[in-house]
């Protein structure tokens, strides 16, 4: 599709969306309180300029090595020393810090930032240290599924809590560390759900909150040491042809307009999924094809379009017989750790900044317990592992599988090169 045609199609699509879109009110009133939202600023500091992975060491989320050590000890005790050694090797790679509720600011963010600053000074000799963080707490989160449903709800003051008790607090803590560098992924699955799941009542009801909440986050994190990437699903979600891409990019255009003049670096794809970098079946819904094809649509819509891709669990494709037929996103059988996180260097794919481990290998996608409040049927489907715990909880059996099936294999070899 030619650029002029894409722009025309987007303009028509967004005219309809704009007519339906209700911006958040300036003031909300109850019987007892009146809360006024301050006018949005009209100018912002420039965000980090350039690829944040260039000339930066990567911070090791301290939770991951601690969990890996426990897992390796179990393997050692069970008589699998070689597997335990491979498991320990995975602990040296950077994984994102998931801030998935308000309490995680105190539990995860504050100690991680203090450790990162200490590491920067004592281990890395003052070099730049990149701290990767996922912002994940929109009201009505995970609107089309249940496995990762969140703590905030629109009918319980969720929109205000998201801004004032979550985003603003994170911003204040990050601002204390101007010598650290940050890469933020904003709200996995949110805008893709708005693009494709408006027939789900919860998603339709959350549309305004998602768009305005993400715009607020973009504005909040404007700083010269922060690079922002908006989650954009994955290639098997939004890359089914031109119409799919146009519909897929529309909510990003709306969020970008609402955030302006604040801006962001680009997009994060494949977060917590299993899609490959390249699809050997030739279907074209792999992540590098997605970054290329959706990237062009984003650029033609006037959006920034640098990409990072989650490779934490995409080392085997397809992970098992039947995956191509059934798909699946919850604790997929047969998966393995994928390419190691780091700077991506490929002259034919200049819009990809880095490969990352956004999802922590070994943390569950969702519970297989049918009696659980957050049970989702996808977590007991034909693609899913049995006996999985709640989303985010450590899943030993999954971790062992990911280590065993890692591709490239986990060895003591030098750092893997991403110069494809």
* 237 known member of a binding site: yes
By the 10 Å C-beta count (0-12 exposed, 13-18 middle, 19+ buried), 26 is classed as: exposed
Nearest to 367 by CA among 351, 358, 380, 357: 380
Answer whether 261's CB lies under 8 Å from 219's CB: no
By the 10 Å C-beta count (0-12 exposed, 13-18 middle, 19+ buried), 126 is classed as: exposed
394 pairs with which residues across the strands? 363
Give the pair of three-digit tokens for residue 283.
């279907």
* 151 known member of a binding site: no
286 given a catalytic annotation: no
* 320 known member of a binding site: no
Answer whether 232's CB lies under 8 Å from 191's CB: yes
* 329 known member of a binding site: yes
* 98 known member of a binding site: yes
Q: What is the C-alpha to C-alpha distance for residues 226 and 228, in angstroms, rounded to an integer?
A: 6
376 given a catalytic annotation: no
Report the alpha-carbon angle 235-238-244, nearest 5: 135
Helices (H), 260-395: 287-300, 323-326
Q: What is the C-alpha to C-alpha distance for residues 405 and 334, in angstroms, rounded to an integer?
A: 7
* 363 known member of a binding site: yes
Establish how many alpha carbons lie within 13 A of residue 205's alpha carbon, considering only the half-sphere containing its beta carbon: 14
Q: Which of 189, 208, 231, 376 is catalytic?
A: 189
Residue whose tokens read 């300036």: 26
* 234 known member of a binding site: yes
The alpha carbon dihedral of 206, 30, 40, 50 has a sign of negative
Largest CA distance in the chain: 65
Q: How far is CA 223 from the centre of its chain?
A: 20
* 173 known member of a binding site: no
Q: What is the C-alpha to C-alpha distance for residues 364 and 331, in angstroms, rounded to an integer?
A: 6
Q: Which of 142, 208, 353, 365 is catalytic?
A: 365
End-to-end CA distance of the chain: 28
Binding residues: 98, 100, 234, 237, 273, 329, 359, 363
Known catalytic residues are 189, 365
Binding residues for substrate: 98, 100, 234, 237, 273, 329, 359, 363
């Amino acid at each position: 599709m030619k650029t002029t045609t894409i722009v025309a199609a987007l303009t028509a699509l967004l005219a309809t969306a704009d007519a339906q879109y209700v911006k958040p009110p300036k003031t909300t009133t109850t019987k007892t309180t009146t809360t006024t939202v301050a006018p949005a600023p009209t100018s912002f500091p420039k965000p980090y300029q350039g690829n944040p992975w260039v000339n930066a060491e990567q911070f090791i989320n301290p939770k991951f090595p601690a969990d890996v050590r426990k897992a390796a000890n179990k393997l050692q005790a069970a008589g699998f020393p070689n597997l335990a050694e491979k498991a320990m090797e995975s602990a040296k790679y950077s994984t994102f810090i998931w801030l998935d509720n308000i309490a995680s600011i105190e539990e995860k963010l504050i100690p991680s930032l203090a450790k990162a600053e200490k590491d920067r000074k004592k281990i890395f000799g003052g070099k730049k240290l990149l701290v990767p963080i996922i912002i994940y707490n929109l009201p009505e989160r995970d609107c089309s599924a249940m496995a990762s449903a969140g703590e905030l709800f629109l009918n319980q003051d969720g929109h205000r809590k998201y801004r004032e008790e979550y985003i603003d607090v994170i911003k204040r803590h990050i601002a204390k560390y101007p010598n650290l560098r940050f890469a933020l992924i904003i709200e996995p699955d949110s805008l893709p759900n708005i693009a494709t799941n408006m027939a789900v009542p919860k998603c339709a009801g959350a549309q305004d909150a998602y768009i305005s909440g993400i715009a607020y986050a973009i504005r909040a994190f404007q700083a010269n040491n922060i690079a922002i990437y908006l989650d954009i699903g994955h290639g098997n979600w939004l890359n089914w042809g031109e119409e799919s891409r146009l519909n897929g990019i529309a909510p990003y255009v709306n969020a970008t307009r609402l955030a302006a003049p604040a801006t962001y670096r680009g997009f994060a794809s494949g977060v917590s999924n299993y899609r490959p970098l390249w699809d050997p079946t030739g279907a074209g819904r792999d992540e590098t094809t997605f970054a290329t094809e959706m990237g062009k649509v984003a650029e033609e819509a006037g959006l920034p379009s640098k990409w990072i891709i989650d490779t934490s669990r995409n080392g085997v494709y397809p992970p098992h017989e039947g995956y191509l037929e059934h798909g699946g996103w919850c604790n997929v059988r047969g998966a393995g750790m994928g390419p190691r996180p780091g700077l991506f260097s490929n002259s034919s794919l200049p819009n990809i900044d880095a490969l990352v481990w956004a999802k922590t290998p070994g943390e569950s996608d969702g519970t297989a317990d049918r009696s659980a409040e957050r049970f989702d049927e996808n977590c007991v489907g034909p693609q899913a592992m049995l006996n999985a715990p709640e989303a985010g909880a450590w899943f030993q059996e999954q971790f062992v599988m990911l280590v065993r099936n890692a591709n490239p294999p986990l060895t003591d070899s030098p750092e893997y090169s991403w110069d494809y």
